[in-house]
Amino acid sequence: MNAVFQKRRTRIGLLTLTLTALFIVAVARLIVLMTFDGPRLSSLANSEHTGELQLAAVRGPIIDRNGQPLALSAETRSVYAHPRELLASSTPAQRERLAAALGISNAELDRRLYHSAPFVWLARRLSPAIALQAETLGLDGVGALVEYKRFYPESNLAAAVVGMAGLDGQGLSGVELGFDRLIRGEPVKLRIYHDALGHPILDSPLALRNPQPGARVELTIDAGIQSLAENRLAREVAASGAKAGSAIVLDPWSGEVVALANVSAGAAGPHDRLHNPAIQDAFEPGSTMKALLASIALQDHVIDTTRRIWCEDGRFHFNRVTIHDDSPHGWLALPDIIEVSSNIGAAKIALALGADRYSRGLRAFGIGSRTGIDLPGEAYGLLRKESSWREVDLADHGFGQGIAVTPIQLAVAYAAIANGGLIMRPYVVKAVYGADNTPIMVDRPQVLRRVISPAIAHQVNLLLRNVVNGANGTAHRAQVDGFEVAGKTGTAQMVNPATGAYFQNRLVASFVGFLPANDPRLVILVVLYDVGHGHFGGLVAAPVFSSIATGAVRQLDIAAPHTPGVESASIIPIDLLQRVSSLAGKDAIANTNSDALFAPTTSEIPGFGGLSLRQALALAHQHGLNLEVKGSGWVIEQKPAPGSRPGANLVKLTLADRLSPAHPEKKASRRKPEHSMPRRTPAHRRAR
């Protein structure tokens, strides 16, 4: 009996120990699960019973400055399925009809349905009529949701500016990308609950809230001028055999981009919206750089408009290299160098300036840096550090070789010459408005810095008029009936990327100018890439400028200027007065690093020297003065002198429209006099 009892006690003890050990193991395992694996298992459980998808909001429209839509969103329906429920409740014949309604193959439908996910898209952004065909089949596990599809009612008009939005409503390029946060609105995340069998339970409160629509973006682009620029540019690309072309129309006083066109010789495609050559590609500007060179040299008092330079009869040898002019020239003053586009004259001026001053001046004009335009992906261009320049580089840079600029950089630089010396930040978005039409953002003109004085800008303005109107000018085809045009041609050889040398028969031809010359309202740049030999800027780019300018002044109702008489000289249209006043206002000049365009109001007579008539009238209005005007153009003399007391509040101004005549060109002589510029110029390339 004792032995039996002892055995029983032993078995009970072992069982108790075993159960205790198992309990300890279970508790330990529970602790491990709760402590270490709890979050993972909880998430896994939630994923088994819930799903989530994001419904994109309707993207806001993009319109031009006149309200014409360039990008809109249309309502579509996207068909989805719960694969397990659909496969369990439908026959192969029913699924075949579903595939036919959606416009996909049976194999593609099966590929999407035999999927482990509880939710799959069958087709997205269908027209409501097509989606209705699928919905009316009445299959369990099939449903549809409203989505929005982006479309562009004007096709490829301003494609690179507007950009592109992706399938899921995100911006990919252009304004669509740069302002995506505002345009896309506020999407809604829809949480879908389903039971153990996968049946959806759409009882989430989020399902009852609609996405908030995106903001409306108003551009500075004028669709009419944009269309004109694209069409005229496309015709010239085809006629000249160019690979591509760009054109920019810019308001020099505000920095507003009125048109920005890019055309390629190939077929149109998505690349036209994804890439913007006018701000993302750089080219060697050729002789268009000579206007900047002249501005810098005049500002630094290296040369004046009467000093003559020996231009070597068209061939200038240095260190076994040669600079060529297209025509032989002897003695030329600065106005003649610009008019005939002498590379030799430009190279000698650059050498006289020196690398430090020339580089500093170019950087002040914005060469080698971004302009700050409100589009993504802007390039810097190319301007190497002056410490690395050799004399051959300095001479090359004088006529625009060895430097690379983006089209927008060059247009902004010429706008500074047109507006009296101010670098303006260019922009394409004028304003952004919320769904309730309240303004979210309104852009305004921003002066970045002063680069040259108004007097120097006026001198260069006059030099550039001779390029278009002078007897020996290279841009007669840029003329516009009823308007005086100022501008410069450019023709530069393209670089062979494989060898680093220049192609002999592949050129970039350009023209950039502004009008009316005595009251600039538009700066227009035209660039044709990769044209053949003989296609100079004055022959192929200048006519495009003329066509765009002719249409633009008509579209914007810019009247041909006239010279006012004394009795009407103090009268200025109110819209022009407002433009000038806003440009000279506190906000506009907050970022300038030198003198403002207009002096502040004082009890003394301000200085009018170098101002246009429009600017002088605005300044006189600001100081409560009356003007008596003689001549036209820009102010060269005033009485009483600046700083005098107003007296009778009358200021007499003398305006001039021409530079003092240079010394007449004499017969070429190979002897270099003592006052000529240095002969050390080793460049051998051509640029016009």
Show which residues are catalytic.
287
Distances (CA, A) of 662 to 238, 249, 312, 335, 634: 42, 33, 19, 8, 19
| Cα 29 from Cα 375, distance rounded (Å) | 58
Q: Say what angle helices 355-364 and 343-353 make with each other, to 10 degrees.
A: 100
**R_g over Cα of the chain:** 35
| Token pair listed for 400 | 């625009």
Closest listed residue to residue 630, CA positions, set 683, 687, 564, 681: 564
| Token pair listed for 148 | 């929005």
Q: Please provide the DSSP assignment of 220-234 as one string.
A: S--HHHHHHHHHHHH
Tell me the backbone φ, ψ of residue 19, rounded to 5 degrees.
-65, -40
Tell me the backbone φ, ψ of residue 616, rounded to 5 degrees.
-65, -40
Q: Say what angle helices 355-364 and 289-299 make with each other, to 10 degrees.
A: 110
Backbone angle region of 241, left / alpha / beta, with phi > 0 → left and psi within -120 to 50 → alpha: left
Q: Can you name the residues that pair with 450 across neighbouring β-strands?
A: 422
Locate tokens 């039409």: which residue? 437
| Cα 241 from Cα 244, distance rounded (Å) | 9
Element housing 441 (H / E): strand 439-442
Q: Please provide the DSSP assignment of 448-482 as one string.
A: EEE-S-HHHHHHHHHHHHHHHHSTT-S-GGG-BTT
Percent of residues in the chain assigned helix, strand, coil, to nearest 5: 35, 25, 40
Distances (CA, A) of 83 to 43, 89, 103, 112, 636: 22, 10, 18, 8, 83
Backbone angle region of 554, left / alpha / beta, with phi > 0 → left and psi within -120 to 50 → alpha: alpha
Element housing 676 (H / E): none
| Cα 287 from Cα 106, distance rounded (Å) | 63
DSSP character at residue 598: S
Q: Can you name the residues that pair with 382 across neighbouring β-strands?
A: 404
| Cα 227 from Cα 462, distance rounded (Å) | 31
Amino acid at 66: N
| Token pair listed for 277 | 């050559």
Amino acid at 323: I
Q: How many CB atoms lie within 10 A of CB 612?
A: 23
Closest listed residue to residue 183, CA positions, set 58, 347, 37, 351: 58
Longest CA pairwise span in the chain (Å): 147
Distances (CA, A) of 340 to 322, 336, 533, 591: 19, 6, 19, 37
| Token pair listed for 271 | 């690349």
| Cα 95 from Cα 88, distance rounded (Å) | 11
Pairing outcome for strands 308-310 and 315-318 = unpaired
| Cα 475 from Cα 535, distance rounded (Å) | 13
Closest listed residue to residue 557, CA positions, set 250, 225, 218, 219: 225
